[in-house]
Chains A and B, each alone.
Chain A
Amino acid sequence: MTDHAASPSKPASTFAETARKYALFVLLALMLVGFWSAQPAFINSANLFSILQAVSVVAILGVGVSITMSAGGFDLSVGSVAASSVMAASYAMVVLQMNAAETLALVLLMGAMIGLVNGLLIVRVGVPDLLATLSTMFLLAGLQLIPTGGRSITAGMMLPNGTTAAGAYDPAFLILGRGRLFDTVPYPVIVMAVVALLAWFLMERTRWGRVFYAIGGNETAAHLAGAPTKAYRLWAYVLSGTLASLGGLIVASRVGRGDVSAGNSLLLDSVAAALIGFAVLDKRRPHVLGTVLGAIFVGVLLNGLTMLNAPYYTQDFVKGVVLVGALALTFGLGKKKR
């Protein structure tokens, strides 16, 4: 790699390939070094874990998005599912007075059911993926406001029927979002790591993952090869919905109340993470490792810029620049024409 300019065409293209493959890793390392030299406090375990904690929800949702993408679909409802899960978890504990375990089970089940509805709309009714999940996105964004009359949920709040909510957040529930393992590693980071590992294993190391990708690549070919394509696509949305509600649970346990504006940017951030992931290792397809790395990449960049006193309102601009760059890297720049 040192004398690539002098080497003949074949090794040079190999160098370009290698460069494209690891471009995001190199950029990430450069960013870490850059921020560290500008602001030494950037590199300490507390800050690094706070970055990971900040991106954990986006990464978990992004994994769901990349699973549906790999099966040739697209789940636009993940942000709304997460937001509804925040409200549902709060409602379950504050109004229905459930405990932490019941709340977790209820909300995850709700996410799976929403995914099932998405999937059925798509494979049974035949609504195109984007349109089906766009409509459930709208539906949920509205539905989550109805039980509380459009207000956020806090302990002791006034309900629409005039009574006062009797319950409160279960302290055990709050551990999920606020606790740390060995006082260092936040639980959301551990959840993210476990989800990423399991999803990576499913998608890259099992035959089921292979079939998900085959369906996304050529559904007819997968069908003619005997794969139950409809069942797989249904499962992709169930997984995506469940992961989105898991993300919502983490948000709820961190915020500690049912905030109606929670999860506003989650959809775009998680889709961006999945798309940035296309460029990781030059895979040019959705993949779990890339999605997680994409989320971390954006998280590091935003955290570093904030430390350097970049104004809050530049964040979306920065994300946009990263996304454009990553997609140009994936689909265009220096790509060999076959």
Chain B
Amino acid sequence: MSTSPAPIAVSVTGIEKSFGPTRALAGADLEVGAGEIVALMGANGAGKSTLVKILSGSITADSGTILLNGKAVSFSSPSEAQAAGVATVHQATDQAGAAGLTVAENLTLNELCGTGSFFVSPRSTRKRAREIAALIDLDLPLDRDFIDLRPAERQLIAIARAVAAKASVLILDEPTSSLSATEAERLFAVLRRLKESGIAILYISHRTGDLAAIADRAVVLRGGKVVASFAKPIDFSAAIAAMIGRTLDAGAHAGTVSTAPVLAAVRGARLIPGARPFDLDLRSGEVVAITGTLGSGKSRLLRALFGLEQLVEGSFTLDGEPWLSNGPARSIENGVFMVAEDRWASSLLPPEIPGASIAGTIALPHLPRWFPLGLLRETRERLVASEAISRLGIKARGPDDTLDQLSGGNQQKVVLARWQAAPCRLLLLDEPFQGVDVGARADLIAAIRNSQSGSATLIATSDTEEALEVADRILVMRDHSLYEADGSQEGGLAAVIGSVESAETRADGTGPAS
């Protein structure tokens, strides 16, 4: 790593950070040269986001040193980091600017908020905004409200601002996760220009397609340490092996072709106008994962099955009967359950609310059937919760603990327990491993796989590795249509990743799924 040709822009040595008993970073070392694009890879919980937060000043390290252009620095706030020339573009693009302000105002936001002149006129703002936009060849209507911009456009605004602020280090946290292929291509073009101008870029992503396109070097983080570093041309299967800490093998459960009766079927489904229609059969006892990028239509299919959205065309059947739900109530009555993504927004209650305990959370959708007369019997709720706590290994003091006291993985176990507390026919899980650590993920996978008698499970995940670990069969969603993953039968993580990647870049399909 010390042989980078360019001067070192930022160098991190022996950074440690603990959150309570959890060691997020255990002595991480990293260098990024000026004009170099370094890909930071790592599984969930490897410490990527902690490292980014330390570099961008959101949190401070417990120990270790950061050298910026040769000088030791320590940031106690994001604005200090910015002033020192470290700019960060976060994954959540709604924070990249201020809604209600125009593109021009957002581009000049740093100057409006501090260093600029006291008087601003629309004319001077537009003039300055045009100069800033020109830095990265950004071509956007300057009068458009930030809130009407697409994520890709918001990101570019954040990058333009960083460049205008004379950043010497640019950190991009999963920048392409919500971008289309053309948008990503445009982003890469901008990044290559910045690289030419000598900016050091730290690029966080687990999409190997992106990394192959732009990274000069890949650094793999695991367990809070840098475990490997790969120079160009990057060997991605070795990088992924380093990431997950073992060699690539076939999916844990793939390979056995189910002959059970078809439980749920999708026929000629068109998710959005103009998308290619597709079919899908879910057999009894089967766990099927759909992978693909954000916005490819995975959630939309799940939501349509659950009755939150409607298909443009096509139909569903459940146990041979036509199935069309008008909403969650009807779906739940019929044994079609969904765990939506983002569990705090979609499933959990704030702690001061009655029923925010583990017992209450599990009971919420089942109240009408458990207590038809209306009178609550908390012993019944607690009994179900205690059983779930011991069966799923939920780390809690008891059924009355509120969910905010639990870790992400344990929260997700409670949400899963909710839907295992009643007879289920079709279980829909949208990103069930979001914010779940590796250990809890293994428990969740075991729980999902063990509850499979007589029901089918459909999982949407953008993480191919997760898909391989949990599913009997993996399908790839691309442009709102479903495709069989290349070679998922004979196995190989690389094969599935390959088909996800090709799904992102290719326009033609490989044939409809089952």
Contacts and interface: CB of A to CB of B under 8 A. Distances in A.
Chains A and B belong together in one complex: yes
Interface of A: 204-211, 213-214, 216-218, 220-228, 283-285, 338
Contacts of B364: 210-211, 214, 221-222, 225, 227
Interface in B392-419: 404-405, 418
22 contacts: A206-B376, A207-B374, A209-B354, A210-B354, A210-B355, A211-B364, A217-B350, A217-B356, A218-B345, A218-B349, A218-B350, A223-B328, A224-B346, A225-B328, A225-B364, A226-B331, A226-B332, A226-B368, A227-B365, A228-B329, A284-B352, A338-B404
A210 B365 contact: no
A227 B366 CA distance: 10
Contacts of B375: 205-207
A86 B64 CA distance: 73
A221 B348 CA distance: 6
B349 A217 contact: yes
B338 interface: yes
Given A211-B367, A224-B340, A227-B329, A217 B376 contact: no
Interface of B: 327-329, 331-333, 338, 340, 345-356, 360, 364-365, 367-368, 370-371, 374-376, 404-405, 418
A208 B345 contact: no
Contacts of B345: 218, 220-221
A227 B332 CA distance: 10
Contacts of B352: 283-285
Contacts of A222: 364
Main secondary structure of the interface of A (DSSP, over half): helix
Q: A-B pairs with the 7 shortest C-beta distances?
A: A217-B353, A225-B365, A207-B367, A217-B349, A226-B332, A284-B352, A226-B329
Contacts of A285: 352-354
A214 B353 contact: yes
Given A206-B375, A217-B353, A284-B352, 16 more contacts: A206-B374, A207-B374, A210-B367, A210-B376, A214-B355, A216-B353, A217-B350, A217-B355, A218-B350, A218-B353, A221-B345, A225-B418, A226-B365, A227-B329, A283-B352, A338-B404
Contacts of A209: 354
Nearest to A285: B352
B456 to A, nearest CB: 20
Contacts of A211: 364, 367
Given A213-B355, A224-B340, A226-B329, A207 B349 contact: no
Contacts of B332: 225-226
A207 B370 CA distance: 10
A67 to B, nearest CB: 13
B252 to A, nearest CB: 30
A221 B376 contact: no
